């Protein structure tokens, strides 16, 4: 089933898949057309960047233009897990993902299935499954109800816990927690010393 899902992604299709936080809607991260279809499926505004996931820190680093010491420390402490790092994007990341900006948010998920998908197909868009303004899906059946008409396949991984990932912006000199989620702000800041 994993290889079929990876083949659908490589063919330009979209996929519903579970992470440790929520169900995600994704396509290949470096496929501009897939990013446009994700936006259409969600009704996501063109000025909101799409988050990405990677199989491991090495694959994640390839999506960034730079990899500062703060990123290395946070990745070593919290990856795989529900921590997204925001850094300047590499030239390989399509503008359709970046939404007019020059930075991208990437995480290495704690759940093995999405990491294996990334190993098989490449880094993925990983935005929550829901129409914009609606609650995100924590069950596959709800994800299918929201965007099923747009996807080539859906992987059911049971119920996700629903806690969003914590997002840390490392673009400026001082790291900034943009969203406190599954990992508390104080824990993130303590890891930075």
Query: What whole-number distance in Å separates Cα of residue 75 and Cα of residue 96?
Result: 26
Neighbours of 77 (CB within 10 A): 15
Hey, is 105 helix, strand or coil?
strand
- pLDDT value, residue 105: 98
Count the helices and strands in the chain (H runs, E runs).
8, 10
- pLDDT value, residue 1: 84
pLDDT at 132 over 90: no
- Work out whether strand 52-53 and strand 103-107 pair parallel, antiparallel, or are unpaired: parallel
pLDDT band at 106 (very low <50, low <70, confident <90, very high): very high
Which residues on adjacent β-strands are paired with residue 15?
A: 26, 153
User: Is 158 in contact with 22 (CB distance < 8 Å)?
Assistant: no
pLDDT band at 119 (very low <50, low <70, confident <90, very high): very high
Per-residue pLDDT tens digits for 158-176: 999 878 899 999 999 899 9
User: Cβ-count burial of 16 within 10 angstroms (0-12 exposed, 13-18 middle, 19+ buried)?
Assistant: buried
- pLDDT value, residue 95: 95
Of the candidates 163, 162, 160, 166, the one whose C-alpha atom is nearest the C-alpha of residue 77 is: 166
- Residue 39: partners with Cβ closer than 8 Å, 6 or more residues away: 45, 46, 50, 96
């Amino acid at each position: 089933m994993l290889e079929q899902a990876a083949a659908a992604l490589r063919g330009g299709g979209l996929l519903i898949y579970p992470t440790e936080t929520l169900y995600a809607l994704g396509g290949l991260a470096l496929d501009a057309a897939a990013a446009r279809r994700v936006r259409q499926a969600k009704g996501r505004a063109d000025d909101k960047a799409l988050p990405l996931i990677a199989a491991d820190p090495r694959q994640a680093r390839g999506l960034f233009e730079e990899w500062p010491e703060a990123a290395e420390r946070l990745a070593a402490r919290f990856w795989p897990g529900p921590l997204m790092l925001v850094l300047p994007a590499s030239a390989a990341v399509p503008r359709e993902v970046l939404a007019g900006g020059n930075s991208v948010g990437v995480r290495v998920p704690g759940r093995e299935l999405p990491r294996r998908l990334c190993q098989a197909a490449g880094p993925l868009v990983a935005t929550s499954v829901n129409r914009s303004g609606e609650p995100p899906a924590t069950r596959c059946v709800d994800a299918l109800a929201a965007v099923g008409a747009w996807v080539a396949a859906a992987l059911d991984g049971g119920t996700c816990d629903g806690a969003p990932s914590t997002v840390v912006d490392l673009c400026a000199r001082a790291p900034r927690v943009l969203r406190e989620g599954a990992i508390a702000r104080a824990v993130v800041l303590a890891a930075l010393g």
